[in-house]
């Protein structure tokens, strides 16, 4: 077998490989004791920018669970840090910016940074180490979509409703488009750096897009997500949470090779909305990871059965692994998916 025959890459190309590929969002992280041990004394963003450490954390879940892909250990705000924006990740909370971007002048200032000038050499080095260790298992690179990044940047930190970012679109559309256009370029540079260093596929995370109306998504967001993926030279997975009302639009006019589906919408319904020419990814309910194995097993079997209606299916969760998850449950899921 060679890397190009890897089940994940075949599924992204629309084939049905003999083995259904499976990986988990947030597979590298706090559910693993070996991760928690490595992270002691190192801040999240410093860990992301230390090539040996980021590489080792990326590899941990691949070794432990036998998943069909590595997801690069980094964060959506890493390219912003590399562009010189002051940001930290607070444990248990998420990204926090020293200066929120709220006014036209704030937008002017941040967008005057040239996205092409960001130095992604630490990221590229980590990717190279991972890819050489992974062999025939593909590495998925990723970036945050412009809206999800803006949801943090405009608010200054995590928020439930992302009200300020959603308001900016309407109160000052020109500044919004300028900011989102800049974020798209930053994410595109980050994605391409990972691909150039050997990542085989990429996932664009628009985790918070579900707070938007379809109309706002189409007018203020989709064009910028499309720009983030323009000329990206690897297969693309596009993921959001709560995006049922505009799931078909998440195909971004056909640029996405796969669309990620959260746990709210049955895969059969997602497949009928998405149509026959896109691969689906998902959608095990993360809440069931804490259920007794027979309950979780029945759910995983149901997700697999529903996925048969798609041109191809990549098994994943409907969102990230909760930190309190027993990693054994993830290993069992991989074994089950590979046995069917």
Residue stretches of the annotated binding site: 26-30, 75, 152, 207, 319
- Is 26 designated active site? yes
- Is 332 designated active site? no
HSE toward the beta carbon, residue 301, CA cutoff 13 A: 8
Q: Which of 35, 81, 102, 152 is catalytic?
A: 152
Q: Which of 10, 35, 68, 75 is catalytic?
A: 75
Nearer to ligand CP3, 46 or 196 (CB): 46
Nearer to ligand CP3, 23 or 311 (CB): 23
Look at residues 174, 52, 171, 54 and name the one whose alpha carbon lies nearest to residue 108.
174
- Is 30 designated active site? yes
**Who contacts 287 (Cβ-Cβ below 8 Å, separation ≥6)?**
263
Percentages of the chain per state (helix, strand, coil), in multiples of 5: 55, 10, 35
Nearer to ligand CP3, 182 or 205 (CB): 205
CA-CA distance, 296 to 225, in Å (whole number)? Answer: 34
With left for phi above 0 and alpha for psi between -120 and 50, is residue 32 left, alpha or beta?
Answer: beta
Closest separation between CB of residue 166 and ligand CP3, Å?
16
Closest separation between CB of residue 309 and ligand CP3, Å?
26
Task: Say if CB 258 and CB 237 are below 8 A apart.
Answer: yes
Residue sitting closest to ligand CP3 (CB): 207
- Is 35 designated active site? no
Give binding residues for substrate as ranges: 26-30, 75, 152, 207, 319
Residues binding ligand CP3 (CB under 6 A)? 25-30, 39, 44, 71, 73-76, 89, 91-95, 142, 148, 205, 207, 320
Task: Say if CB 90 and CB 96 are below 8 A apart.
Answer: yes
Q: Which of 16, 19, 39, 264 is catalytic?
A: 39
Catalytic residues: 26, 30, 39, 75, 152
């Amino acid at each position: 077998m060679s890397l190009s025959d890897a089940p994940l890459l075949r599924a992204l190309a629309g084939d049905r490989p003999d083995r259904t590929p499976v990986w988990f969002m947030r597979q590298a992280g706090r559910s693993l004791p070996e991760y928690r041990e490595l992270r002691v004394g190192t801040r999240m963003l410093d860990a992301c920018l230390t090539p040996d450490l980021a590489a080792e954390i990326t590899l941990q879940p691949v070794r432990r669970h036998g998943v069909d892909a590595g997801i690069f250990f980094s964060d959506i705000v890493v390219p912003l840090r590399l562009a010189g924006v002051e940001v930290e990740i607070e444990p248990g909370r998420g990204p926090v910016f020293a200066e929120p971007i709220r006014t036209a002048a704030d937008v002017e200032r941040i967008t005057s940074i040239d996205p092409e000038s960001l130095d992604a050499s630490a990221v590229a080095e980590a990717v190279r180490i991972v890819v050489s260790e992974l062999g025939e298992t593909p590495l998925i690179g990723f970036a945050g979509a412009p809206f999800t990044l803006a949801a943090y940047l405009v608010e200054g930190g995590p928020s439930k409703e992302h009200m300020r970012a959603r308001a900016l679109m309407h109160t000052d559309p020109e500044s919004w488009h300028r900011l989102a256009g800049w974020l798209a370029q930053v994410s595109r540079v980050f994605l391409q750096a990972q691909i150039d260093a050997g990542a085989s596929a990429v996932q664009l995370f628009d985790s918070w897009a579900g707070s938007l109306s379809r109309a706002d998504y189409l007018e203020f967001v989709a064009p910028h997500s499309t720009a983030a993926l323009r000329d990206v030279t690897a297969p693309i997975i596009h993921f959001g949470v709560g995006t049922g009302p505009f799931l078909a639009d998440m195909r971004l006019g056909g640029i996405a090779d796969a669309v990620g589906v959260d746990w709210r919408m049955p895969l059969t319904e997602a497949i009928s909305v998405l149509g026959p020419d896109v691969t689906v990814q998902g959608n095990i309910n993360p809440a069931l990871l804490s259920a007794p194995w027979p309950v979780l097993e029945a759910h995983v079997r149901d997700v697999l059965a529903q996925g048969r209606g798609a041109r191809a299916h990549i098994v994943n969760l409907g969102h990230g692994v909760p930190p309190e998850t027993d990693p054994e449950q993830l290993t069992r899921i991989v074994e089950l998916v590979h046995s069917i």
